[in-house]
Structure 1
Amino acid sequence: MAIEIVTGLILGLNGIEVGCAQTVSWGASRTEIVAKCAANGGTKVTRPGDKAYTLSVEALARVATGVDAAGNFTYVNLEQLFEDGTIFDFEVGGEEVGSTKKSGQCYVLSYSESSNLDGETTWSADFSVTGDVTYTANA
């Protein structure tokens, strides 16, 4: 199973379009390993530590009905991935020449949904990346 976020912020799963993302955010951070050593006068020395990546998505909610229901992934399925703690593949990035795709594995860290007075339902989710990220340049 792979969730893809591609050109135009179309959200897909295994090549099936499942919705239109409103915003997509990619974050990277790193911990610092800090040491003080008498040999250098007690000056703080730091080294790069562990890396962490997050992916956040806000999208319009889509519910598959009728013949779509059996073969299409919707935001309801995303909630189940959260409940189950499922680790799945992801891919984010455009198809444009010169852009870079990021791919790897992640799980749903947090999930929420909301509705406005017009009856429009949206959902948002934060995904925590586990393991390495692969960067692929579109040539």
Structure 2
Amino acid sequence: MPKKILLSGAKGRMGQAIQSIAMDHDCHISHPIDLGDDPGSLIGECDAVIDFSLRDATLPLATLAAEHGKPMVIGTTGHEKEEREKIARLSEIIPMVWAGNFSTGVNLLFFLTQKAAEVLDAKSDFDPEVIEMHHRLKK
């Protein structure tokens, strides 16, 4: 039986991409929601929560997921320090994957940057810098 997923941000680019591949991975997006929808009445019926919505929706949704013991994936970015700390505490209650970017290329860049930092750390005359840029439609 496919896993039932509550997907917040279902109408966005990532939400649509997730919906297009869900069944290939034994998942069913049973509750595709967006801003204005009430996840509280739906969360008890799902097996897990995925959030690719907007920053303001993440903490309330993560709190709800923790209250119901639902594992959560968060791909939403732009959280303030206090929000990040609260979400991190919730990750001690429920299984959680929280990443600002799920792109293979970007995660490869993270890995290579870490390796470069380790190699260059022994040489104090290097001052490397990585600049992140996004397309103009990035929210």
TM-score category of the 2 structures, normalised to the smaller one: under 0.3
Which TM-score applies when normalising by structure 1? 0.22
Larger radius of gyration: 1
Which TM-score applies when normalising by structure 2? 0.22
Structure with more of its chain in helix, by fraction: 2
